[in-house]
């Protein structure tokens, strides 16, 4: 059982409003690039924790197995 790139995008945009989210993947490995000012002042670890919290249900269910995260503020890109 896997999750679509679109479904991952939806989960992230719901959890992190006003974020620019790009998700790619093949059903096993996914890459998420998230640009949001919600990351302002957060360490890389805290940014990743925010992303993982948004995806916790699909990670624990096994729908999403491997995820590479790039999380930046708008000023960092």
Name the pLDDT band for 11 (thresholds 50, 70, 90).
Answer: very high
Domains of the chain in start order, with CATH, are 5-76 (3.30.300.90)
pLDDT in tens, 13-67: 999 999 999 999 998 899 999 999 999 999 999 999 999 999 999 999 999 999 9
Instruction: Please tell me the pTM assigned to this model.
Output: 0.94
pLDDT score for 18: 95
Apex 39 CA angle, 23 and 34, nearest 5: 10
């Amino acid at each position: 059982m896997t999750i679509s790139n679109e479904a991952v995008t939806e989960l992230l945009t719901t959890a992190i409003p006003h974020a620019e989210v790009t998700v790619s993947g093949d059903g096993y490995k996914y890459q998420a690039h998230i640009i949001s000012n919600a990351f302002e002042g957060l360490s890389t670890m805290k940014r990743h924790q925010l992303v993982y919290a948004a995806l916790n249900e699909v990670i624990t269910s096994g729908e999403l197995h491997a995820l590479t995260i790039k999380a930046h503020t708008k000023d960092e890109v």
